Structure 1
Amino acid sequence: MSDRLPAAMTHIRLDGYGPPENLRPDTMPVPAPEAGELLIRVAAAGVNRPDVLQRLGNYNPPPGASPVLGLEAAGTVVACGPGTQRFAVGDSVCALTPGGGYAEYVVVPEPQCLPVPKGLSLLEAAALPETFFTVWANMFGHGRLRPGEWVLVHGGTSGIGTTAIQLAKAFGAHAIATAGSEEKCRACLDLGADHAVNYRARPFEDAVLELTGGRGVDVILDIIGGSYVPRNLKALAMDGRLVQIAYLESSTVHADFLTLMTRRLTWTGSTMRPRTVAEKGAIAADLEREVWPLIESGRVRPRIHATFPLAEAAAAHRLMESSAHIGKIMLEVAS
C-alpha cells in the first residue's frame, strides 16, 4: 500500500442490530488489497434495501466480507493487490462490493469493478452496480426476457424498478410497472413504462390481464413475495417466468400449483451477494458490453432521488424505509 495513504479512515459502524440510529460514524484501519483486489478511495456509495436488512440482522455478510454496510461504490483506485491486470492507480471505477461501501476506502475484487461510463459523475456511477447487476442477472438471465415480450416490474420507482423499466425498454420489451401512488405511476411512465398500475387503487393482476387482452405478461420481477405469489401466477402468460429477487412481505407463500402446472410457468429467483467472484465478473463483462453503451449514449441513466453525507447514513436509511423515494438513495463520501 502506498505510504501516502492514511492509516485510518471514517466508516459507518453498525452499533448492534436495530433502528437506523444504530448507524454511527467511526474510524477503523484502511484495508489493504490482497491478491486480485483493488483499494478504492470512495467518492460515493449507494444505499440499498439489502443494507437495511443487514442493519436489522437479516442479511449477514458472507465469510471474509467486510462487516461494514455498503454493496456498491465508485471512486478512484489508490492501490492494487498482486495479480490485478486491468485497472491501475488513478483509474476511476464503480464496483459491486462484497461489503464495506459505507467508508472512505473499500477493497473490491477486480472482476467486480467497471470503468465509469463516459459522461457520468462518480456519484451517478456509484448508483449503477447493485441494481444493474441484479436486474441483468435476473430479468434477462433467469427471466430470459426477450424483445417483444411483456414484463411486469413491481416497485417501479425503487432503484431496481427504475433500472428494470429502462433496460426492458432499451432491449425492445414492453413494461408494466406497479407503484403506490399516482405520482409514482407518472414517474414510471416518464421512465418509459408502457403502463403503470397503482396497486392501492386496484388489484394489479386484474389490471395486467386487462392491459394484455387477457394474455398476461411473460416475465414478472418481484420484490414482494408472500401474498403476491399466487397473484403473480395469475398475471403470467403461458410459459411465463416469475423471478423472485426479494420478499418485502414474506418468504412464506400459499399458492395453487395447479396454475403453475397447467400454464407451464417457471418460478425462480436468486440473490447476488453469495455468488462467486467469477460469476459476478461474468455479469460485469456482460454489462460493460451490452449496457454501458446504452448509458453512454444517454438511453439509460441512473435515477437519483436524494444524496446524504456519509455521516448521515441513518437519515438515508430512514428515507429508504419510508418508501417515499423515486430512484436511488446515495451517500457522498468526503475523503
Structure 2
Amino acid sequence: MDFPKLDEVYKLLSEKLETWVESAITILPNIVVAFLIAIVFGVVAKIIGNVTGKVMRKTFESRQIASLLTSIIKSIVIVAGIFIALDFVGLQGTVTSLLAGAGIVGLAIGFAFQDMTENFIAGIAMGIRKPFEIGDVIEAEGVFGNVKEINLRNTLVETFYGQLEVIPNKILFRNILTNYSYLGYRRIEIPVGISYADDIDVAANVITDAMNTKDYVIKKEETAVYAESFGDSSINLLLWFWIRYPGDPGFMSVRHDAVSTVKTVLEENNILIPFPIRTLDFNAKGGDKLNAMLKQRDSEHQSHQGNAESAATTDSASGGKKSPTDEE
C-alpha cells in the first residue's frame, strides 16, 4: 500500500491554512463591524426596554403583561441585530436556516400548548383593550364579583360570597362580559304592590318624592314609578332610581333603605300594600263558599239541638207515667 509523501501532505495543509487565513483577514473588518452592530443593537434594546417598561407599567394593570411585552420588544430588537450582523458577515444561509427553524419550533409549540397559547394571547389582547381593571365589579359565565388580579393566563375574581374564582382569559375574551364599574352608576329596580282601591298616580308621586330626598339617589329627574301589571291582589308598580356604583353606601344597603322608605311613605299616605287573599270553593261546579258552608252547618247544628231540647221537654211534661202496655 502506497502512502502519500509527507512533503505533499504538508504542502496541502499549508495551502489550506493560507487560504483560511487569507479569507479570515479579508472578512476581518466585516466581523468587527458585525460585533459592533450586535453591541449597538444590544444597547439600543436595553434603552428601548427601559422606556417601554415604564410605558407598559403605566398602560397595563398586570405587571406580568407589562414585563412580557417589554421582554418581547427587547428580544425582537436583539434578534434583528444578530440577523443583520450575520448577514453582514456573509452568512445569509445561516440566517435563512435560523428563521426557518424558529418558525417550525414556534408552530410545534403552538400546537402542543394550544390552550395555554390561546389564554396567553387573550390576556395580551385584554391588556390592550382593557375591558376591565383591578377592582372593577364584573359578571361573566355565572361569576359575579370584584377583579383581584389579571395575569397572562387567567383572571382572579372574588365573589360576593367570599370565594376566589379563577377564570381563563379566553372565556372572558370570547363571551359576554358585564362591567358594572365602567360607567360609575347603576339603576336599581324595586317592585311594590298597591291595592286596587288606591290611586296609581298618587302612589307613584309620593314614592318618587320620598326617594328623591335621599342623598344616594343621582339623576333625580329620572327617578320614576311605573305601573307594571295587574296582580291577583294588587296593582304591581316598579320603582326605578340611579345610584353611584361602586360607591358608599353599598348596593344592598341602598336597596334595604329604599324598600323601607317605600313602605313608610305608603303607610303615611294611607295607601295599602295588600297581601294575597284566597277564597276557597268546595263545590266542583263552583258556588259553594267556605263561609256559606260553615253557616249552613251551624244552622243545622242549632236545629238538631232545638229538636233534642223539644223532645226532652215533652218527656218531662208526661211526668214519667207508664202506659198500660208498659205495665204488662
Q: TM-score, normalised by structure 1?
A: 0.20
Q: Say which one has the larger Rg.
A: 2
More strand by share: 1
Per the normalisation by structure 2, the TM-score is 0.20
